[in-house]
Each structure stands twice: as structure tokens, then as C-alpha cells.
């Protein structure tokens, strides 16, 4: 498993071509121009699977992709990703625009429109600039490449408030997996303002791929928090074209699951590290729970707490905020059993402060990467989540996101 922001050592991936261009989408909205349109195409039909936002307000591309995947789980051929406009809360026009973009991709690649998926990210309530989309699709389809640099270009083209591209890869036998992702804000468990696209040349049945992807998401993208808000557009998509000799079935599914989960975890962690205005990366480990669901519920309450996150930003070991967040998570607790550590430094035992050195506690709280462990003292279940701090820059970025 490998992760980096560069593409210098990407493995060979059979049958996929990808590319990115500046289609003028940002310019249409009066923003500085930059790459804003990416396209991935496969030479063969792909088994495909996806996990989407659980937000009831779903963007047009999410609705279109759900329909296309339901009808063609074994025959997806291409994915188009645009930035600048989320094409969310755009009504029937938005749905028609998403379908038209899929049709234009299909025409350019010589495939059926039902074999095309689309993803969008950007401002909610903004319509796609369709003339620019059409020209961009035509131009992009003519210059797709299997070069490693094309993957990094695509990773950059799908960024919004991200400060760096997110690219990861893994091997499975003679097959490979390559994934890109975007996301920096509007990030919460159960998917977030994030898009992720994974391509692999393994052979696998769509139903098995869906099961493995959902499990990978549950252990990665569903365990990250930047700000606790959930997007209208979240999509995690994987395409498998079967052009390698590696086949995934029930006998080796666990091994493929491990590679896929590791890749997704690297991408998910990269989103948190690049969180809007973030200065700290926090690993939150909840142990001693009765079951995993309760551990996650407590972890999510802590990771989304503005008071906890601002204390991390200030380098203040204000552990009382962590215990308070745990206590309001809706999970039965025994406060007298709680124990808390910052890295390997224990601050709390039996629900009360130890006679610790405050200066040492502050040194731990001021580190750029912190492991916080809360033991509930109730059972054997545990879970790990990843979050970041909440800084002044987060407010500045989101106070002027549209303008």
C-alpha cells in the first residue's frame, strides 16, 4: 500500500485512461481559472459499486448515478467529475443537465449514456454551465491518457477548497488499485463533502464488490470528521474492468478487502489532514465499550464537538470537554470508570484527574499529531476515528465560500 500526492510510482492499471482540463467552469462563476473537469474511461465494461451520501437532499449526479448503477452494475465505462458547481438543489433542470453530460460523454467515447456516471462538487444551487461542459467533455475525451501524471492531474482537477491532491494506490496480485479523492470541509461520518474514485483491473462480481466497498467505507470514510456537516454530493465509487488475471471471489475476498480498506483509509486520512484551516491531525481511539456502535457514537460526539476541536487548536489539554462530549452522546456511561490519555500520557483515571504535570500535558496537546484514547471501562469493543482541530481559518474559508 502506498500513498502520496505525486504520481511517480503509480502501478500499471490495464485498460483505464484518465485526464483533466480547465473547461472554464470556475471562470463562468467569476472565480480564478484552474483545472475543473476530469474524466476516467475504461476500455472494457466494468463491475461498479458505490456508496453515496445519506443526506436526504441529494444532488442530481447522485440520483443519476444511483439509477445508472442499478440498471448497469456490470457495464459502467466512464466517470465524469466537475468542480465549481455541485449541481445540487437544482430541480428538474439539474437532473436534465446531469443526464445530458452523461450523454455527451457517451457520444464522445462511443458508448451508451447509461454506462456513464457523473460526479459534481462546488457551490450548491448553482446550475452547470452547459456550453462549457459540452466543449470541455469533447476536448477531454480526445486527450485521455494512461500516464501516471494524468492521475495526478485528475486528482488536482477535482479539488475545491483542498490545498493538495489526494492520490493512493495498492497492489493485489498482478492487479492494481488507484484512487483519488477530494474533500476538506463539510466532512462528517456517514459520508461527507467528499468524492472518491477508485479504479482497478481485478475481475469481481458487482454484488461482491458492493459488499466489500461498503465495508471499506465503514472503516475509513465513515470514520472521519472535519466539521460534522454532511454534503449533498458524497460519492465513493469503484470500477473494476477485469483486464488483469487477478480474480476476487469469496475465497480471497478478505485479502482484497484489506487492500481496498487500506487505500480508502489513506485517502480518508488525507482529507482530514487537509481539513479546512486544520493545524492538527487527531486520532481518536475509543476503547472499553460494550459494542462498536456505542464506541462510534461516543467518538463521533467528541470528534464533532466545537469545544473539543477549538481546544485542540489552542493546544489546551482541556480534557473535561472530551468527557462532557462523551456524556452527551446518548450512550449509557459510568463516569467513574472513564480513563483518558493524550498519546501515552494519562490525565484521567476513574473519571477524575490524576496528579499530572500540566506543562507536560500542554506539550502533548500542542503536537501537530495527537492520539487521544478514551477508555470507557465497560467492555471489550473499540473503534478509531480521525478528526482535526477548528481554527480561525475555517471560519474565514466558509464565511466567504460563495463570494
Annotated catalytic residue, options 121, 193, 235, 304: 193
19 to 203, 327, 330: CA distances (angstroms): 24, 48, 46
CA distances from 190 to 59, 140, 187, 220, 298 (A): 16, 32, 9, 10, 15
Angle (CA) 72-119-37 rounded to 5° is 125
Q: Which residues pair with 145 in a beta bridge?
A: 18
CB atoms within 10 A of CB 359: 7
The answer to whether the CB of 171 falls within 8 A of the CB of 260 is no
Q: CA-based Rg of the chain, rounded to a whole angstrom?
A: 22
Q: Which phi and psi (to 5°) does residue 222 adopt?
A: -90, 10
Per the annotation, the verdict on 336 as an active-site residue is: no
Residue position matching grid coordinates 450512550: 331
Q: Which residues pair with 154 in a beta bridge?
A: none
In order, the DSSP letters of 152-204 are: HHHHHHT-SS-SS-EEEEEEETTEEEEEEEE-SSS--SS--S-EEEEEE--B-
- Residue 154 · residue 20 · CB < 8 Å: yes
d(CA 57, CA 55): 5
Length of the chain: 403
Residues whose CB falls within 8 Å of the CB of residue 127, separated by 6 or more in sequence, listed in order: 85, 87, 90, 93, 94, 97
Contact 241, 201 (CB under 8 A): yes
Hey, how many other C-beta atoms are within 10 angstroms of the C-beta on 403?
5
Rounded to whole angstroms, the Cα distance separating 81 from 237 reads: 12
d(CA 356, CA 331): 28
Alpha-carbon distance values, 162 to 30, 149, 195, 301 (Å) = 19, 19, 12, 25
Q: Which residues are catalytic?
A: 193
Amino acid at each position: 500500500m502506498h500513498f502520496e500526492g505525486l504520481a511517480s510510482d503509480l502501478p500499471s492499471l490495464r485498460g483505464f485512461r484518465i485526464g483533466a482540463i480547465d473547461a472554464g467552469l470556475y471562470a463562468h462563476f467569476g472565480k480564478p481559472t484552474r483545472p475543473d473537469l476530469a474524466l476516467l474511461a475504461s476500455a472494457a465494461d466494468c463491475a461498479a459499486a458505490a456508496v453515496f451520501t445519506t443526506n436526504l437532499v441529494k444532488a442530481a449526479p447522485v440520483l443519476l448515478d444511483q439509477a445508472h448503477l442499478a440498471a448497469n452494475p456490470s457495464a459502467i465505462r466512464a466517470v465524469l467529475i466537475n468542480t465549481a458547481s455541485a449541481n445540487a438543489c437544482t430541480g428538474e433542470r439539474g437532473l436534465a443537465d446531469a443526464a445530458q453530460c452523461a450523454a455527451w460523454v457517451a457520444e464522445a467515447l462511443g458508448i451508451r449514456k447509461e454506462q456513464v456516471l457523473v460526479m459534481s462538487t462546488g457551490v450548491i444551487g448553482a446550475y452547470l454551465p452547459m456550453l462549457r461542459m459540452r466543449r470541455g467533455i469533447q476536448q477531454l475525451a480526445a486527450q485521455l491518457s494512461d500516464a501516471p501524471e494524468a492521475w495526478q492531474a485528475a486528482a488536482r482537477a477535482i479539488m475545491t477548497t483542498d490545498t493538495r491532491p489526494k492520490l493512493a494506490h495498492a497492489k493485489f496480485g498482478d492487479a492494481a488499485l488507484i484512487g483519488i479523492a477530494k474533500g476538506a470541509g463539510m466532512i462528517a461520518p456517514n459520508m461527507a463533502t467528499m468524492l472518491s474514485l477508485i479504479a482497478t483491473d481485478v475481475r469481481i462480481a458487482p454484488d461482491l464488490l458492493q459488499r466489500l466497498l461498503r465495508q471499506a467505507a465503514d472503516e475509513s470514510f465513515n470514520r472521519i470528521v472535519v466539521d460534522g456537516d454532511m454534503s449533498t454530493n458524497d460519492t465513493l465509487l469503484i470500477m473494476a474492468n477485469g483486464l488483469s488475471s487477478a480474480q476476487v471471489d469469496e475465497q480471497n475476498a478478505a485479502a482484497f478487502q484489506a487492500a481496498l480498506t487500506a487505500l480508502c483509509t489513506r485517502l480518508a486520512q488525507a482529507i482530514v489532514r487537509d481539513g479546512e484551516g486544520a493545524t492538527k491531525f487527531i486520532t481518536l481511539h475509543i476503547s472499553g465499550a460494550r459494542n462498536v456502535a456505542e464506541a462510534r457514537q461516543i467518538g463521533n460526539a467528541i470528534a464533532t464537538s466545537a469545544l473539543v476541536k477549538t481546544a485542540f487548536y489552542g493546544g489546551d489539554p482541556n480534557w473535561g470537554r472530551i468527557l462532557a462530549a462523551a456524556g452527551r452522546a446518548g450512550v449509557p456511561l459510568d463516569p467513574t470508570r472513564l480513563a483518558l490519555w493524550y498519546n501515552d500520557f494519562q490525565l484521567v483515571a476513574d473519571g477524575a484527574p490524576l496528579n499530572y504535570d500540566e506543562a507536560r500535558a500542554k506539550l502533548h496537546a500542542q503536537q501537530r499529531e495527537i492520539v487521544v484514547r478514551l477508555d470507557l471501562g465497560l467492555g471489550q469493543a473499540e473503534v478509531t476515528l480521525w478528526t482535526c482541530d477548528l481554527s480561525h481559518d475555517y471560519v474565514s474559508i466558509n464565511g466567504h465560500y460563495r463570494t
